[in-house]
Amino acid sequence: MGTYITFPELFILLPLLGGIIAFFVSSGPAAKRMALFVSVLVWAIFVVALFYTDRTKYIAYNNVNYLWLKYLGSNYYVGLDAMGRMLVGLTATAFPLIFIATAKNNVSHPKSFYGLMLLSQAGLMGVFCAFDALTFYFFWELALIPVYFLCSKWGGEKRIQATFKFFVYTFVGSLLMLIGIIYVYLHTEPRTIEGGITAVHSFTVGSFYNVALTAMEQKWLFVLFFVAFAIKMPIFPFHTWQPDAYDQSPTPVTMIMSGIMVKMGLFGVVRWLIPVLPLATKQFASIAIILSIIGIVYASCLAMVQDNIKRLVAYSSIAHIGLMCASIFALNPTSVQGAMIQMFTHGINIIGLWIVVELIERQTGIKNISALGGLAQKAPTLTILLVIVAFANIALPLTNAFPGEFMMLSGLYEVKTWYAIAAGLGVILSAVYTLNMIQKVFYGHTNDLTQTVKDIAWNEKLALIIIVAFVFVLGIYPQLMIELTKESVAYLLTTMR
Amino acid sequence: MNSIILTAVWGVVMMLSGAFIRNKQTPKFLAIIGLSLISVLHIRELITKKSLIQVDVHNMVTFDYFNLTFIAIVLSCTLIYFLLSASEVEKVGPHVAEYFALIFFVLCGVSLAASFNTLLMLFIGIEIMSIPLYILTGSDKRNLKSNEAALKYFLMGAFSTGIMLLGIAFLYGGSPNASFFIDNLQIGGGRLSVLTALGLVFLLISISFKVSAAPFHFWTPDVYDGAPTVFTSFMSTIVKVAGFFAFIRLFQNAFGIVQDQWQSLIAFITVATLLIGNITAVFQQSVKRMLAYSSIAQAGFMLLAIFALNAKAKEGILLYAAAYSLATIGFFAILMKLEDYTIEGFNGLSKKQPVLAFAATVFLLSLTGIPLTAGFQSKFFMLMAAIENGHHLWLPIVAVLFAAVSAYYYFRVIQAMYFKEPSQADGHPIVATPLFKMVLLFTVLLILIIGVYPEILIGWMYR
């Protein structure tokens, strides 16, 4: 416990306070400016925090642990470990990008909009920082509520149904997880606390990792936890909420959902599932991998036949997440490391894709691939930037997705050859649908709809250039990401022995 | 002890005030002042454990921190109910003072039913609680639905009273030392005798009736729908949780030792209650009726405490009493401000009355069980109790699936308030005084405080 305010607290509290204040500021533009300011501030603090990662020297800056509920044994315990830091970094980077890219959009009720956006950032930060299962569950749900309101209020035509479907799916998942958490909690080592009742169990991650559960208990607990995380990712067959939700949400929120929220599922698997239930993981890993691979192939096939550009990106996202999930469950050092890199890069790249999609939709009013064409003539800068991001989506060498996908596939290959072959099919198919989309939308002849399209404005250009910078820097020098996350990979694999 | 005597005395005062004071406003203030006074004295008793008035009760009622805390919760919730809805009581009919007097008598019954130590006191407590309710249900004398509801409630209530008395008689007969004291029934751990088993089942049925657990819930929707809304609010919250408190006290002290023999029965009742309450609520168009079914659904969750009967269950019932009562009382208070009780009546409320819409949203989120609200903590403790108990582990899973179903009908109201346009611009404007809004926001604050720090309530149990 430090006497100073720690980094994880800042990451959670700043957006939280900013979000609450945003509801009460004088005007809409002020709320917009404040949201941008807070998110950039959080990002700057994150960059500073990168210099204080040394576990031995700076532990007091990165961890905070208060007793929260005495009789329950729950602590408000937040901190940063390697993977948490990477995902906090993703959140901290994504929000300014989202705010910059959508700076010129005019939303109705901007105060509530930006307030809710910041609140969702606070929730996500909390999820990635929590080291106490109850704290984790709190933030897990709290990240959902602002997103629910954002989508239902500012989304497309069928937003209410689509969002509610999304909400119910994730709510069922998280309640099942809650039962799992309670069960594990009740089997943690009881300890005596002063002044009153004895035998208080604990929610901290350490006691969860040391819990003694029989193989049978682990099995059904695995199901409870896995369903919750699989819905969030989403993994086949729990994915049906996703295309509807992405299609109907306002683009900034879709960016949050596809860039960051889906990582909550992967994160949950790495921190709260595999180390807590190692026996069941060994047994069920192959099933999880097979489900993920089915998802990859299935979603890629669906993406190929989509005419709706938003749904195309949504399905492509399912395929990518499936590959990451399969690689984590492969429990091979290379593939897990690859998934760690890819969690970050996928989050950045997909925001780039959404920026373009949003631009097209806003300018032409449609999202059907077949009705578009010839955008390259009208918007050359946009096309160049998009093609780079799209290449990253296909994981071409020198783009940031390449090292990750390569490591994931080679790791899967080491585990079972056909896993890698089937998953590799997804990569090939992603080239098919992505290039097909570019060809139809950007090349060919212009038509009435695309005649009036203008090239991108400075704010979108700025956001896309930052993303392209990430694409190249991490593509050429992936070691940065590996250094940041290798500790978590090593730790995850030791828990399995 | 304070609460039993003082509520009864103040009830009489209220009743007499009706005879002398013709002013319609005065009873409201008298009631609020009286209840605040009683609450303060009760909380003093909770802190010092000394009652203002000492009466030798021959151990027929006992007070420990558990039931003192519960009564404190009930009194505080009733106080908030008065502050929010007392002006609605005035609109029901001309006999305002009598209505308040009856509510005070109900509170006296609640205190007795929470602290009974013998089966006789249980019976008296439950009856003192119920009889004023029959009158309150029918208090809207010119409304046919209200009359029907009162008659239905009274007939069904009379039946359940009979069954309860029969059960008590069987237990008395079956007890080896012919005792009414619940911890002295000497049931023993083995096979139950026929008389004891019959007594147990009859008591179970009659209390299930009082807390509207399925399959004894049939009176609930009609009675809650027919009664004047302001009394439905009181009935479906304070009285219901008091019924549960008596339930858990009876089963823990008298039948705890043979838990394995009746647990499956409770599990069945729980599932039936959750199923009927939640599924039927989904199809309701009237919000008032939806709340009636949702109160059955919430009762299903509270039954988990009876199912588990452990320390977590006791903590859980306290939290549930507070969380459920606060949220429902608050939501009813908002509902009463609207003309139209259908879901469409809520359309666009966020534009017309943002404070009311915000408060209603928090209440509904709390009823759904979203973290940061008291409703989450109460459901969390109930689930924890049921899982800790270790038997029938499918039950908590069924319970959470129904909790997800409940999201459907609670969120429909939220959707109407925030995402739908108001149906027509005219119609009656919604009048909400600043005081009303402040009390509403105070209730919201309480819900959030309990949601973040539940030990503010359950800590009282462990002093």
Secondary element (H or E) of residue A220: helix A215-232
Nearest CA in chain A to B385: A182
CB contact under 8 A, B370 and A145: yes
User: Which residue, among A358, A405, A409, has the nearest Cα to A382 in the 3D structure?
Assistant: A358
Please, are residues B46 and B460 in contact by the beta-carbon 8 Å criterion? yes
Report the pLDDT averaged over residues A173-184. Answer: 92
User: How far is Cα A167 from Cα A188, in angstroms, rounded to an integer?
Assistant: 31
Residues near B144 by Cβ (< 8 Å), separated by ≥ 6?
none
Average pLDDT of the residues of chain A: 87
Residues of A in contact with B404 (CB under 8 A): 168, 171-172, 175
Q: Say what the pLDDT of residue A248 is.
A: 86
Asked if the Cβ–Cβ distance from B400 to A172 is below 8 Å, we say yes
Q: Across the interface, do A69 and B455 touch by the CB < 8 Å criterion?
A: yes
Give residue A374's pLDDT.
79
- 3-class SS of residue A308: strand
pLDDT above 80 (res A46): yes
More confident residue, A167 or A456: A167
Mean pLDDT of A329-346: 90
CB contact under 8 A, B387 and A168: no
Residue A145 near residue A261 (C-beta atoms within 8 A): no
Structure tokens at A114: 């930006």
Q: What is the pLDDT, as a whole number, of residue B293?
A: 93
| Cross-chain Cβ contact A167/B370 below 8 Å | no
Q: What pLDDT is stored for residue A51 in this prediction?
A: 86
Tokens 């020098």 -> residue? A477
Q: For the segment A411-440, what is each residue's pLDDT rounded down to a tens digit?
A: 999 988 988 998 888 888 988 999 888 888
Q: Which among B365, B387, B397 has the least Cβ separation from residue A186?
A: B387
pLDDT at A1 over 60: no
Closest alpha carbon within chain B to A151: B419
Q: A2 pLDDT band (50/70/90 cuts)?
A: very low
CA distance A154 to B296: 34
Q: Note whether A70 contacts B455, CB cutoff 8 Å.
A: yes
Suggest the residue from A144, A166, A176, A182 to mutate for an interface test with chain B (most B CBs closer than 10 A): A182
Q: What is the pLDDT of residue B137?
A: 93
Q: Measured between beta carbons, which residues in chain B are less than 8 angstroms from residue A138?
A: 371-372
Q: Which residues of B touch A (CB under 8 A)?
A: 311, 315, 365, 370-372, 376, 380, 383-384, 387-388, 396-397, 400-401, 403-404, 407-408, 411, 415, 418-419, 453-455, 458-459, 462
| Rounded-to-integer distance, Cα A16 and Cα A336, Å | 32
| B396·A196 Cβ contact <8 A | no
Q: What pLDDT, on the 0 to 100 scale, is given for residue A196?
A: 55
Least CB-CB distance to B396: which of A138, A171, A179? A179
Task: Give mean pLDDT, residues A217-235.
Answer: 91
B294 in Cβ contact with B276 (< 8 Å): no
CB spacing of A172 vs B411 below 8 angstroms: no
Residue A257, classified by CB atoms within 10 Å of its CB into exposed (0-12), middle (13-18) or buried (19+), is: buried
pTM of the model: 0.93
pLDDT tens per residue across span A446-484: 777 777 777 778 888 888 899 999 899 988 888 888 888
Listed by start position, the domains of chain A span: 1-276, 281-497
Counting beta carbons within 10 angstroms of the beta carbon of residue B46, is it exposed (0 to 12), middle (13 to 18) or buried (19 or more)?
Answer: middle
Q: What share of chain B is helix, strand, coil (3-state, %, to 5)?
A: 80, 0, 20
Distance from CA of A172 to the nearest CA of B (A): 6
Instruction: Walk along chain B (463 residues) and give the pLDDT tens digit of each residue.
Output: 788 999 999 999 999 988 888 787 888 899 999 999 999 999 998 888 887 788 888 888 888 889 899 999 999 999 999 999 988 888 888 888 899 999 999 999 999 999 999 999 999 999 999 999 999 999 988 889 999 999 999 999 999 999 999 999 998 888 887 788 887 777 776 778 888 899 999 999 999 999 999 889 999 999 999 999 999 999 999 999 999 999 999 998 888 888 888 899 999 999 999 999 999 999 999 999 999 999 999 999 999 999 999 888 999 999 999 999 999 999 999 999 887 888 888 888 888 888 999 999 999 999 999 988 999 999 999 999 999 988 888 999 999 999 999 999 999 999 889 888 877 665 677 788 899 999 999 999 999 999 999 988 888 887 7
How big is the A-B interface in CB pairs under 8 Å? 71
- Do the chains contact at B418 and A152, CB–CB below 8 Å? yes
pLDDT tens readout for residues A111-146: 889 999 999 999 999 999 999 999 999 999 988 899
What chain A residue is nearest to B394 in terms of C-alpha separation? Answer: A179
Q: In angstroms, rounded to a whole number, what is the distance separating the alpha carbons of residues B158 and B162?
A: 6
Q: B372: left (phi > 0), else alpha (psi -120 to 50), else beta?
A: left
CB contact under 8 A, A71 and B380: no
